[in-house]
């Protein structure tokens, strides 16, 4: 091999290593990346949007909730109902932005936390920190972890252990319990 040829081989190998490194980096999300998504969630919030804090509870009577929510929203949020799979327009929502509770506007998830689970419900592998409480329900005999908005107590969905790495969680959320606020404006 001439000096020129070996240089070519060396360069090709270096470029390959560089490219491969980038692909590997793009594929492996670490827990540190998840923490950053959680910490920087406001970077996906549309300018000038005012949202409540988890520490300002919203308590309403059943009748007040009935007035504030439509029948489907009331059934999910206040009676732990489940929307039929594949019915939420939010399944296909891919724009950058924030998902808030339809009951009280608390920010729950960002678009960066969403993934396609194939279940027919909007699914997320993590949440904004401190926005949900959980309980165990036995409605389907086997125990499931129910989660609800920490601010208004509204039921949102169930969390399962079959999500993508590194969290391994699937927050399976009823679309009717969420409102999407696109970061760059436009139709919610």
Catalytic annotation, residues: 172
CB of 72 to Zn ion, least distance (A): 16
- 45 scored as a contact of Zn ion (CB under 5 A): no
Give the HSE-up count for residue 27: Cα atoms under 13 Å, Cβ half-sphere: 6
Residues 151-170 within binding reach of Zn ion (CB under 5 A) = 151-152, 154
Query: Given the rule CB under 5 A, which of 68-76, 97-105, 163-171, 172-180 is the region that contacts Zn ion?
Result: 97-105
Own/partner contacts of 56-59, CB < 8 Å, gap of 24 or more, are: 56/151, 57/151, 57/152, 58/103, 58/104, 58/151, 58/152, 59/152, 59/153
Q: Which is nearer to Zn ion, 29 or 82 (CB)?
A: 82
Q: Which is nearer to Zn ion, 61 or 92 (CB)?
A: 61
Q: Label the pairing between strands 144-149 and 155-160.
A: antiparallel
Query: Given the rule CB under 5 A, which of 1-9, 25-33, 39-47, 142-150 is the region that contacts Zn ion?
Result: 142-150
Q: Which tokens hold the place of 121? A: 């419900």
For Zn ion, the binding residues (CB under 5 A) are 101, 103-104, 106, 149, 151-152, 154
């Amino acid at each position: 091999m001439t000096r020129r040829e070996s240089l070519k081989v060396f360069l090709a190998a270096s470029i390959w290593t560089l490219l491969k490194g980038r692909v590997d980096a793009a594929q492996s999300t670490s827990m540190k990346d998840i923490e950053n998504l959680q910490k920087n969630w406001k970077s996906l919030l549309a300018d000038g949007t005012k949202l409540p804090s988890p520490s300002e509870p919203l308590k309403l009577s059943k009748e007040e909730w009935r007035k504030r929510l439509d029948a489907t929203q009331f059934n999910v949020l206040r009676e732990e109902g489940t929307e039929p799979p594949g019915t939420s327009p939010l399944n296909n929502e891919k724009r950058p932005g924030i998902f808030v509770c339809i009951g009280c506007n608390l920010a729950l998830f960002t678009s960066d936390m969403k993934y396609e689970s194939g279940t027919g419900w909007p699914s997320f592998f993590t949440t904004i920190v401190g926005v949900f409480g959980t309980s165990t329900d036995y409605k389907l005999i086997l125990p499931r972890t129910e989660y609800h908005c920490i601010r208004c107590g509204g039921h949102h969905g169930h969390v399962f252990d079959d999500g993508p790495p590194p969290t391994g969680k699937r927050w399976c959320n009823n679309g009717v319990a969420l409102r999407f606020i696109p970061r760059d404006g436009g139709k919610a």
